[in-house]
Amino acid sequence: MKFIIKHEIPGRLRIHFPMRRMTYGEADTLQYYLQGFSYVTETKVYERTADAVVRYVCERGEIIENLRRFHFEDTKVPESFTETSGRELNDGYYGKIVASAVLHYGERLLMPMPVRAVITGIRTLKYIARGLKTIPEKKLKVELLDAIAVTAAMLTGDFQTASSVMFLLNVGDTLEEWTHKKSVDDLARRMSLNVSKVWLVTDGSEILVDADTINTGDKVVVRVGNIIPFDGKVASGDAMVNQASMTGEAIPVRKNKGKSVFAGTVVEEGEIVITVSHIGGTGRFDKIVKMIEESEKLKSSLESKAESLADRLVPYTLGGALLTYLFSRNVTKAVSVLMVDYSCALKLAMPLSVLSAIKEAGHYNITVKGGKFLEAVSEADTIVFDKTGTLTKAEPTVYDVISFNGESPDELLREAACLEEHFPHSIANAVVRAAQERELGHEEFHTKVNYIVAHGISTTINGKKAIIGSAHFVFEDEGVKIPRGKNKLFDSLPTEYSQLYYAKEGKLAAVILIEDPLREEARDVIRALKEMGLKTVMMTGDSDRTARAIAERVGVDEYYAEVLPEDKSEFVEKTKADGSKVIMIGDGINDSPALSAADAGIAVSEGAEIARQIADITIGSDDLYSIVLLKRLSDLLLKRISFNYRSIVSFNTGLIVLGVAGALPPATSALLHNTSTIALGLKSMTELM
């Protein structure tokens, strides 16, 4: 497609397309196309001017060539991307503010005073109605202050002041609504569903396919620990489903044949086959937005205190205005006091500070589901790490496969991969990846797969029972025996590797050795967290010998070995009962109870879906330093909130004093008050780091 380069510096292009302006859809299509290239680090598309700014880290010719290849009609954009882009939202609010300003100043220039007075009087009715609506609530709110102020200005014949005050109030309301809505939508977009592969049921078998290929009416199987990818109805099976992403409540709900399920919820227990009823993204996105706006999870205790303080201060502002009038008999001075209240700034700046911090966290690949979790991270004194996939790398690898039944290691690995591919965990992924690297096709030749949390998997292969999992599950729970003559081989297995046990018909068939290398940054991260005042704890299901070695290498204060999921959650609960605030970090299904119990549960993004859904915060899997960044961000957020408190109270108190002294007329008080509120709101939206 043709385009013009308007400006260029190394690594950055500003281009213009030969059209008057783009539609929202065209702008989203170009945005989606450009950000699909790994070498494009940032892209912004401006639909009003048909321009785009592209930052890239490749050869200039490569980006130019791909821009030439671009055509709107050739790029397929997911429905969820266009529906949640926010372009129409931003354009709508921008148009409202521009129209309001043009109308206000146009009336001043073109209309005679009598006509303007009538129009101002009609507009006053809207604010009077808003103020009167608050009276039945038996609370004095800022809407009542606004109503009294504009009414007083009208009764004294100061139509220009009344008009200016209403204009500023209208702009302030629009900006507040816009910034809050945009911040919530940005957060919801990060929390939205992102599933790339699903298990399609067809002709009695299961096929792993791209989620984009699924159509309405298709049947998809969802097992324990996995996210439900589409809205639909249960065709068969029985499961307990965690619907926290929809309702904010973590109590699982039973779903069986005929019941509806929703995209983004997670199967905690059992297995279901769903008939897909909706494949679009709008329903889910809107539900998330509604959940965020209505849920108290979004608000930190400091935000709640700010709202409470704001409402408590309204009567004092009203009382101050009344006293000013009684002592001075000057309506203008009283209205000047009414034009200034603490409520607007407190109710705008505090939520924006939190939402901005959440958005900034997103720049570092950290998803935070609510302000109170940032507050919990800042106040925490204990941090608990799961070992596998957290302190160790998220991509462990298969070091070796030791056969105990005479079958070839490749054949045993093929069977193990067939079982493990159904369940998302770093160890399971390692087995599947090893089979793929050795080009070992593992078509479905087992029957129904059952997953036992924190233990392993059980199924039947060619009529024979097969299990794979931990030593506790295989040898203690299932009573598996080591084949005769193989005890010496078993005792000689290297202890520096994690061991996954595969058994058939009650006898050990193979031991898969998993190399689980420590993250390079783990020790430095632990040291940094200690310097921030956090006690560090590691918990793992590994043997004491393996756990001790890892604990010594990373430098944690305490470690616990051979623990079960309930042990982790019990430790978190006990530590909280002792008066501590606890952060829990994990990546697996077995970490879910502890993640839920912690003051702030942090999941690694490549872990199990249920861990990510239950967790309050999700971090990228490639770098543990994001935990340190999260802690710094949380501490800076609380400092900003404290600064906002002081600024709002001191500045607005100064305006009230000047109004009482007669130094500021009402319109100027309103202007300074609203300007300071918007300025503080904009300051609250700037990055903390």
> Using one digit for the tens of pLDDT, what is the confidence trace for 62-97?
999 999 999 998 888 876 677 667 788 888 888 888
The pTM of the full predicted model, rounded to 2 decimals, is 0.65
Residue 343, pLDDT above cutoff 70 = no
Residue 295 is predicted with a pLDDT of 46
Which CATH architecture does the domain made up of 397-515 adopt?
Answer: 3-Layer(aba) Sandwich (3.40)
- Range(s) for CATH 3.30.70.100 in the chain? 4-77
Residue 187 is predicted with a pLDDT of 58
Please state which CATH number belongs to domain 4-77: 3.30.70.100
Rounded mean pLDDT of 287-300?
Answer: 53
What tokens were used for 416?
Answer: 């193990």
Please state which CATH number belongs to domain 197-280: 2.70.150.10
Query: DSSP per residue over 254-307, as a string?
Result: EEETT-EE-TT-EEEEEEEEEEEEE--SHHHHHHHHHHHHH-GGG--HHHHHHH
Residue 202, pLDDT above cutoff 80 = yes
Classify burial at 42, counting beta carbons within 10 Å of its beta carbon; exposed 0-12, middle 13-18, buried 19 or more.
exposed
Q: How far is residue 2's CA from residue 67's CA, in Å, rounded to a whole number?
A: 8
More confidently predicted of 69 and 180: 69
Residue among 387, 424, 384 at smallest CA distance from 569: 384
At 367, is the secondary structure helix, strand, or coil? strand
- Topology annotation, domain 366-392+518-621: Rossmann fold (3.40.50)
Residue 453 is predicted with a pLDDT of 56
Q: What is the mean pLDDT of the chain?
A: 81
Taking the CA atoms of 286, 291, 294 and 296 in sequence, report the sign of the dihedral they define.
Answer: negative
- Range(s) for CATH 3.40.50.1000 in the chain? 366-392+518-621
Q: How far is residue 201's CA from residue 208's CA, in Å, rounded to a whole number?
A: 9
Residue 409 confidence class, pLDDT cut points 50, 70, 90: very high
Rounded mean pLDDT of 135-162?
Answer: 76
Q: How far is residue 331's CA from residue 345's CA, in Å, rounded to a whole number?
A: 25
Residue 282 is predicted with a pLDDT of 46
Contact (Cβ atoms closer than 8 angstroms) between residue 143 and residue 133: yes
Residue 299, pLDDT above cutoff 60 = no
